[in-house]
Structure 1
Amino acid sequence: MTTPTLSAPLVSTPFSPPELSSGPRRATALATLLSLWLVIFFTSLFAPPLLDDADATHANAARNMALTGDMVTLKVNGIRYLEKAALPYWLDAISFRLFGFNTFAAHLPEAIGVLLLALLGYHWSRRAYGDRAGFYTGLAVLTAAGVFLFTRIYIPEVLLSLFLSTALYCLLRALDPATILSGRYAYAIWAALALAVLTKGLVALVFFFGAATIYLALTGEWRNLGKLKPVTGFFLFFAIAAPWHILASLRNTGGMNGHGFFWFYFVNEHFLRFLGKRYPRDYNKLPGYLYWSLHLVWLFPWSLFAPVAVIQGWRLRNRQQSVEGSSFPAKTTLLLSAYAALVLVFFSLSTNQEYYTFPAYLALLTLLTAALVQAERLYNDDAILRRWIVAAHAIYTGIGVAAAAALAFGLWSSRKLPFNHDIGGLLAHRGVGDYTLSMSHFFDLTDSSFAALRLPAALAAVAFAIGPAVAWWLRTRRRHLASTTTIALASTVFLVAAHIALVRFAPMLSSADLAQRILKLEDDHLVSRDSEVLIFGDQAYGSSIPFYLGKVVPLVDGRSTSMLFGSTFPDAPHIFLTHDELLKDWGTGQRKILFVPLEKRDEVDRLLGNKKIPLAETSGKALFTDRPLDRP
C-alpha cells in the first residue's frame, strides 16, 4: 500500500497511468467551468426579484450611492447605514449606473465574484496539485451547495473570500524562490488585503495575518519577510483602505450618545459583535452541533469525500521532515489548512450566521479535491482509501434515492392539484417569525404548495435518481475523471432546479409584486403619484418596496435593527411613525398606502379595524389604503 507524503505533489508520476492523474486540457477545463457558471449563476441573475431583508436593503444602499454620488456614507431609506464596509456597494452602484435598477445589476458583481473565485481555485490548485486537481477545485466551487445558496442574496462573503484567497496565493508566490516577479506578488498581497478590508472590515486582517503567522512560523519563512515588502506594502494598503474609513468617520459624527461612525463601525460592529454584545442585539449564534455539521451541507456533494482527506492528513501526522524548503504543494496544504481552521474556529467562538464561514469554502474545497485526486491515483493500490471512496458513493447514492423517492411522492400526491403561482399563500405558516435557518419554509410545504414546484421537483428527482448512481458506476470502472465530473453535473441540474424553486417562492420572499401593484394603480390614475406609502414594522419586512418604488418609505413602529443607530443622528429624516401618529393621519391629507407583512396582520387589524381598504394581498402580505380608489 502506498502512503502519500506531504511534500509529494499530487500529480502524475512516470509510473502512474495518465488516465489516473491527468486532467482535461486547460482550454477544455476553462470552457467547462465557464459553461457551468453561465448555466448556474449567470442565468439566475434575471429572477427572482430582489428579496426582502438583506438583499433589497443592500441594494437600496447602493441605489442611493448611484443616484446621489455620495460614495462615503451608506444610506438605506434615507437613514445612515453605518455597519457595512463600502466596496460591495460601490460595485453595485457602478452596476446600477450601467444596467439600471434591477435584479440583474444588483447581483452581477457577486456572480462575477463566484466566477473569479472558481478561476482562482482552478489556477492555484492546478499549480499546486496538477491539472486534474485544478479542474476539480473549479467544479467544486461552482457546484457546492453553500456557494450557490449564499449568493442568492447580496452579501459580501464571496468577495471577501476572493480577496483573501488572492492575498494568500500571492503570499506563497512572493516567498517562492522560483518566482521571478516576487515583488509584484508582494504588492498584490497588500492591495488584495486592502480590498478585503473595504469589503468586510478588520476581520479580513485577523484571518490573513493569523493564517500567515502560523504558516511563517511553521515553515521558518519569517526570515524572508523582506520579500513581502512590509514597509512600502503597508503604505500601499493604507492608501487604498484608509481614505474611505477616514472620510466616513469625519462625515458621520454626533449619533447616539455622541457616537459616530468610528465607534459604531469599529467598536460595535467588530469587537462587540464578536463578544455577542453588539447594539442592537439582533444577531444569533448557531448551536455548536449545527454550526459544525451544517458544513457537510454547505460543501455538499464534495463534503462526502471529507473522510478521504482526513485519512490522508492523519497519515502525515508523524512526518519528521521540516516543512521549510518543502514543495509548493506542501506549502499550499499547510497554508490552506491553517486558514480554514482559523476561520472556522473564529466564528465558532463569535456570534455567527450560517454564511459567515464562506471565506473558508475555497480552502476546504481545494483540500478536499486535492485529496480526492490523490485517492484516485492510489485507488488500485490503497484498499483503505478505496473503501472510503466507495462509502462516499454509497452514501451519495442513498441520499439520491431517498431524495428522488420523496420528490416523486410529492409529485404523485399533487398530480391532480392546480398550479398556483402564489406558493406563499399555500404554505402552512407554522411558527412564522421563528425561522432562522436558510430555506426553513420548505418544511411547511403542503400538497397544494408542492403543485407549484412540479418542474423543479421533477428536475431534482431526475438528478438525484440518475447522477449518483452513474457516478458510482463510473468509479467502479476506474473512470475517475468521468465519475467526478458526473457528480458536478448532477449537482448542476439540482442547483438549476433549486433556482427555479426559489423563483416560485418569490411572492413569499419578496414584496416586489406589491410594489408593482402600487405603480400600476398610479399608472391607471386610481391613486395619486404623491400618495404616501408606509411599511408597518421594520423596513426589512418589505425592503424591496422602497427599492422598486424608488423613494423613501416611512416606517410605522419600525425604528429598530439596522435603522436604529442611524435614526439617532440629528439630521435623520422623520420617517418613523408611532401607532398614534398613524391613527391621527389615517384618512387625512394625502392618501396612505400601508404595506403590512404577515407577521403584523393581527396587530394592524386591532389598530385600524374596519378603517382600512384592501388593495392587494400575496403570501399573507397585504396593501391597505385609507380611502376608496380615485376615479380614472
Structure 2
Amino acid sequence: MTTERRLLPRLFLGPRDDPGWARPALWAVLALSAFLGTWSLSINEWANTYYSAAVLGMSQSWHAFFFGALDAGSFITVDKPPLALWIQALSARAFGFNTWSLLLPQALAGVLTVWIVHHVVRRSCGHVAATVAAVALALTPIAVVMSRHNNPDALLALLLAVALWAASNAIRSGKLLPLVWSAVAVGSAFNTKMLQAGFVVPVIAAVYLLAAPPRWPRKLLNLGAAAGVLAVVSLSWLTIVDLAAPGSRPYVGGSTDNTVWNLLVGYNGFGRIEGQDRIMSPGMGGGGGMHVSGAMPGLAATPGGGMPEGPGLMIGGPGGENWSRLVSSDVAPQIGWLYPLALFGAVAVIVDLWRRPRRDVQRADFLLWAGTLAVTAVVFTFASGIWHAYYTVALAAPLAAVVGMGVASMMRLARDSGWWGLLLPTAIVTTGFWSAHLLGQNSDFVPWLAPLVVVETVLATIAMTIPLLLPPVRRHRHRRSIAVAALFGLVTVLAGPTAYALTPLSTPVAATFPSAGPSGGPGGPRDRFGGHPGNGGFAGMPTRMRGDGQPRFAGQAEMREGPGRAEKVSAELTRYLVEHHRDETWLVAVVGSMVAAPIILDTGQPVMAVGGYNGNDPTPTVGELEEYVRSGALRYVWTSGSSGVQAMGGEVDTKVVDDSMAWVASHCTVVAPAEYGGDADAKTHLYDCQSPTRAS
C-alpha cells in the first residue's frame, strides 16, 4: 500500500529530480490536446463520406475489411492503403458505427503524437524545450483539424513520430532492435499513405550513420537489416493483393491496371511529386481547369462546371513548383504561425551545438527532426502533382520539435552568450509581426488580436533586450526577468494559432478541404460537399444512426456530377431503391464513389461505384456488368447523364465506363420518374436491369 501511495503522486508529479511544474505541465498539454480533438466532435458527423462509407462496409464484411473496399459488396477499393481505415473499422465493430467510433482514433493519435514529441525532446533538451514543443504541436491548427477528421493523415503523423522516436533510441544505444522498430513504423506509415511515409527514411539513415556508436561495418549491416524489415512491412499488403486473383477481390481504386503497384508508382506515388494527367479529385482546385465532358449515349450532355473560384482553391489545389506555397495565405495559417521562431531557433541550436562531438545525442535528435522538417518542406514546395494544404500536418511534429529545441538553445545563449543572446528577442518580435500578418489576412476574425500581438511582443522584446545589452555580470542578475519576458512573448505569439485551433470546435471541419480558421477567410473551411449526409427525411424508411449517435431517417445523399455542380439523390429515390431491393449484392450502381458514399451511409447497403472515385477507373467492363446483372447481383443503375471527365493534363480515357453505361442504356428499362418522385425532364435516369420488359 505504501508503494502504491508513492507511485500515484509520482505518476502525476514526475520523478523527484524533475522540476515541480514539469509533469503537471505535461498532463495539462495532453489534456489540452484531448480537449481540442474531442470537444463537440459530433458536429463533423461522417466527415469525409468517401472514407466513412468504406469504414461502414469494412465493419460489415471481413473481405471488404482486408482489401479496404468502399462497400461491403467489395466492388472497388478506396485509393489509399487500408491501415487507417482498419483502425476505424475495428472501432466501429467494437462500439457501433457513429461519429465517435469513426473519429476518436484520430483524436487519440493526435494526443499520442504530442506525448511522443514531448518525450523525445525532453530526453535531449530538457523540460522547457519539451513543454514548448508539446504546446506548439497541440495548438497547431492543422494538427487539431486532422485529429477531428477521418482522413489518414493523423495516423501518418503519429507513425512518423514513432519512427523518429525509435530512430533516436537506435542512435543512442547503437542496437539493431530500435532501428527495426523504426522500420516497422515507417512501413506501417507506408500502408497508411504510401510514398509520403518515405520522407523520413533518408534522414534516419543519414543521422544514424553520422551519430550512432557502432563501427561503420556494423552500422551498414544494421541499416541493411532495417531496410529489409521496411521492405517486408511496406510491401506485404501490396503483394498479397496483387497476387490475389482479380476475380476474388475488389478492383484497386485509383489504378489503371487493377494493381496496388500501379497505384503506388502512379496516383499515390511519383504522380504526386512529378504531376499526372489523371483526373483531379473533387475540390482539388485548379481554377476550373477540370470539367465534365461527354455524355452517355442517348442522353444529353451535362454542362461542365468549373471549380468555385476564390482563395480556397489552393487549399485543395493541384501541384506546381511554387517556392512560396508553404507561406501562402491558404497554407501558412494552418501550419506556419511559428515559422520565424523555428528558423531563429534552428540557428541557435546550430550555434549552441556545433562544437559538440559527432555522436552527441542532442545534436542527433535535432538533426532527425530538423532534417525531416526540411525534406518534407522541400518535397511539398516543389511537388507538381495533386497537393492539399492538410498534407502539412506531416510538418507539425518536426516543426514543433525544432521550435522547442530552438527556444531552449536561445534561452541558453541569452543567459551565457554575447550577441547571440539577441536571437531570442529577435525571434519573438519577428514571430509576433508574422502572426499579426496572418491574422490581418482576415480582418473580421478577432480584429483586436493582431494589434494586441504586435504590442505585446514589442513589449516583451524590449523587456528582454535591455538586460541582454548589459555586461555579463549585470545581465546574470536579470536572468529571471529575461525568462519571464520570454514566457510572456511565447504566450503572445501562440495567441494566433490558438484562435485558429479553436474554430473547429464550433464549425464542422470541411470534408474535402479540412482546414482551421474563420469560415470563408484565408485558410478557413469553405467546402462542405461530400461532408455530411443529407438531412431530408420521411416517415416509414429504415432508420440509421446519425453521426452524433442519434437515430435519423434516411435522407438526401449528396453527389457530384462534376466539379462545381451538385445533384441530389432524392429521399424518394432512396426509399424506392430500398423498398424494391431483394437479395441483390448491390442496392444500385452509380458512377463515382462520391455519388455512392452518401447512399451507403444513408441506407447501410452496398452501392457499386462505377469507375471509382471520379468515375474514370476502367471498371466494370461491359462483360463484367452484364455478368453482375445476369447473376442477379445487380438490378438498378442510376446515371447522371455524363461520365467523361477532363483533367488539367488533358482528356481522361473513360471508354470503359462509357461503354458500360451505353450497355445499360440499350439493355435495361428506364424506371418512370413518377415511381420515385423524379423529374421527367431531368437528365438523370434510373434503370431497372432485371425488369421483364428490359431489352434483350
Instruction: Give the TM-score, by structure 1 length.
Output: 0.69
Letter of the structure 2 residue corresponding to residue 522 of structure 1:
M
Match of 1:517 in 2: 536
Q: How do 1:245-256 residues align onto structure 2 when only pairs under 5 Å count?
A: 245-251=238-244, 253=246
C-alpha distance in structure 2 between counterparts of 1:222 and 1:208, whole Å: 21
Deviation at 1:120, TM superposition (A): 0.7
Summarize deviations over 1:481-510 as a string: whole Å, max 9, x none: 354245546643542234313379799715
1:607 aligns with 2:677: no
C-alpha distance in structure 2 between counterparts of 1:114 and 1:214, whole Å: 27
1:343 aligns with 2:373: no
Deviation at 1:144, TM superposition (A): 1.1
C-alpha distance in structure 1 between counterparts of 2:142 and 2:202, whole Å: 24
1:73 aligns with 2:127: no
Aligned residue pairs total: 516
Task: Specify which of 619, 626, 635 is matched with residue 567 of structure 1.
Answer: 619
Task: Specify which of 189, 192, 210 is matched with residue 196 of structure 1.
Answer: 189
Match of 2:215 in 1: 223
Distance verdict in 2 for CA 1:234–1:501, change over 3 Å: closer
Summarize deviations over 1:302-351 as a string: whole Å, max 9, x none: 2241442354367589x5x58623x2111112222222222222332442
Deviation at 1:277, TM superposition (A): 2.9
1:277 aligns with 2:276: yes
Match of 1:354 in 2: 389
Task: Specify which of 250, 256, 259 is matched with residue 257 of structure 2.
Answer: 259
**Local SS of the residue matching 2:25:** helix
Match of 1:17 in 2: none
Match of 2:498 in 1: 492
Match of 1:213 in 2: 205
Q: How do 1:14-25 residues align onto structure 2 when only pairs under 5 Å count?
A: 25=21
1:501 aligns with 2:501: no
C-alpha distance in structure 2 between counterparts of 1:247 and 1:80, whole Å: 16
Match of 1:585 in 2: 670
1:111 and 1:151 in contact (8 A); partners too: yes
**Local SS of the residue matching 2:404:** helix
C-alpha distance in structure 1 between counterparts of 2:441 and 2:375, whole Å: 34
**Local SS of the residue matching 2:270:** helix
C-alpha distance in structure 1 between counterparts of 2:404 and 2:577, whole Å: 55
- Computed over aligned residues only, the root mean square deviation of the Cα atoms, in angstroms, reads 4.2
Match of 1:531 in 2: 576
Letter of the structure 2 residue corresponding to residue 275 of structure 1:
E
Letter of the structure 2 residue corresponding to residue 546 of structure 1:
I
Distance verdict in 2 for CA 1:252–1:45, change over 3 Å: farther
2:118 and 2:134 in contact (8 A); partners too: yes
C-alpha distance in structure 2 between counterparts of 1:292 and 1:308, whole Å: 17
C-alpha distance in structure 2 between counterparts of 1:232 and 1:289, whole Å: 37
1:110 aligns with 2:106: yes
1:62 and 1:93 in contact (8 A); partners too: yes
C-alpha distance in structure 1 between counterparts of 2:213 and 2:62, whole Å: 45
C-alpha distance in structure 2 between counterparts of 1:277 and 1:377, whole Å: 48
Deviation at 1:93, TM superposition (A): 0.3
Letter of the structure 2 residue corresponding to residue 328 of structure 1:
V
Instruction: Give the TM-score, by structure 2 length.
Output: 0.63
C-alpha distance in structure 1 between counterparts of 2:161 and 2:58, whole Å: 28
1:303 aligns with 2:339: yes
Distance verdict in 2 for CA 1:517–1:38, change over 3 Å: same
C-alpha distance in structure 1 between counterparts of 2:192 and 2:491, whole Å: 33
1:393 and 1:468 in contact (8 A); partners too: no
2:129 and 2:405 in contact (8 A); partners too: yes
C-alpha distance in structure 2 between counterparts of 1:393 and 1:345, whole Å: 22
Deviation at 1:114, TM superposition (A): 0.9
C-alpha distance in structure 1 between counterparts of 2:596 and 2:232, whole Å: 38
Summarize deviations over 1:140-181 as a string: whole Å, max 9, x none: 11111222244443222222222222222222222324x7xx
C-alpha distance in structure 2 between counterparts of 1:585 and 1:607, whole Å: 12
Letter of the structure 2 residue corresponding to residue 249 of structure 1:
D
Distance verdict in 2 for CA 1:241–1:218, change over 3 Å: closer
Deviation at 1:394, TM superposition (A): 4.3
Match of 1:5 in 2: none
Letter of the structure 2 residue corresponding to residue 197 of structure 1:
F
1:307 and 1:388 in contact (8 A); partners too: no
Q: How do 1:159-178 residues align onto structure 2 when only pairs under 5 Å count?
A: 159-177=155-173
1:164 and 1:208 in contact (8 A); partners too: yes
C-alpha distance in structure 1 between counterparts of 2:452 and 2:589, whole Å: 47
**Local SS of the residue matching 2:151:** coil
Distance verdict in 2 for CA 1:100–1:23, change over 3 Å: same
Letter of the structure 2 residue corresponding to residue 492 of structure 1:
T
Match of 2:362 in 1: 329
1:64 aligns with 2:70: no
Task: Select the structure that is richer in helix.
Answer: 1
2:345 and 2:406 in contact (8 A); partners too: yes
C-alpha distance in structure 1 between counterparts of 2:573 and 2:599, whole Å: 17
1:392 aligns with 2:433: no
Deviation at 1:58, TM superposition (A): 1.1
**Local SS of the residue matching 2:88:** helix
Deviation at 1:357, TM superposition (A): 4.1
Summarize deviations over 1:564-589 as a string: whole Å, max 9, x none: 32733665766563638799625259
2:183 and 2:230 in contact (8 A); partners too: yes
Deviation at 1:116, TM superposition (A): 1.0
Match of 1:540 in 2: 594
Distance verdict in 2 for CA 1:231–1:513, change over 3 Å: closer
Distance verdict in 2 for CA 1:252–1:151, change over 3 Å: farther
Match of 2:116 in 1: 120
Distance verdict in 2 for CA 1:167–1:514, change over 3 Å: closer
Moved more, 569-578 or 167-176: 569-578
State the identity as a percent: 16
C-alpha distance in structure 2 between counterparts of 1:203 and 1:398, whole Å: 32
1:96 and 1:102 in contact (8 A); partners too: yes
1:216 and 1:222 in contact (8 A); partners too: no
C-alpha distance in structure 2 between counterparts of 1:481 and 1:212, whole Å: 33
Letter of the structure 1 residue corresponding to residue 429 of structure 2:
A
Match of 1:550 in 2: 604
Letter of the structure 2 residue corresponding to residue 185 of structure 1:
P
Deviation at 1:285, TM superposition (A): 0.5
1:375 and 1:386 in contact (8 A); partners too: yes
Distance verdict in 2 for CA 1:274–1:124, change over 3 Å: same
C-alpha distance in structure 1 between counterparts of 2:435 and 2:614, whole Å: 44
Distance verdict in 2 for CA 1:343–1:247, change over 3 Å: same
Deviation at 1:188, TM superposition (A): 1.8
Task: Specify which of 127, 138, 146 is matched with residue 142 of structure 2.
Answer: 146
Q: How do 1:400-415 residues align onto structure 2 when only pairs under 5 Å count?
A: 402=440, 406-407=443-444
Distance verdict in 2 for CA 1:375–1:160, change over 3 Å: same
**Local SS of the residue matching 2:56:** helix
Moved more, 224-233 or 559-568: 224-233
Moved more, 264-273 or 525-534: 525-534
Consecutive unaligned residues of structure 2, counting only runs of 5 or more, are: 1-17, 285-317, 464-480, 511-518, 520-524, 543-552, 555-570, 579-587, 629-633, 642-661, 687-696
Match of 2:560 in 1: none
Match of 1:629 in 2: none
Summarize deviations over 1:256-285 as a string: whole Å, max 9, x none: 999322443333232344332364455620
Deviation at 1:100, TM superposition (A): 1.9
C-alpha distance in structure 1 between counterparts of 2:155 and 2:671, whole Å: 45
C-alpha distance in structure 1 between counterparts of 2:86 and 2:347, whole Å: 44
Match of 1:630 in 2: none
2:120 and 2:165 in contact (8 A); partners too: yes
Match of 1:481 in 2: 487
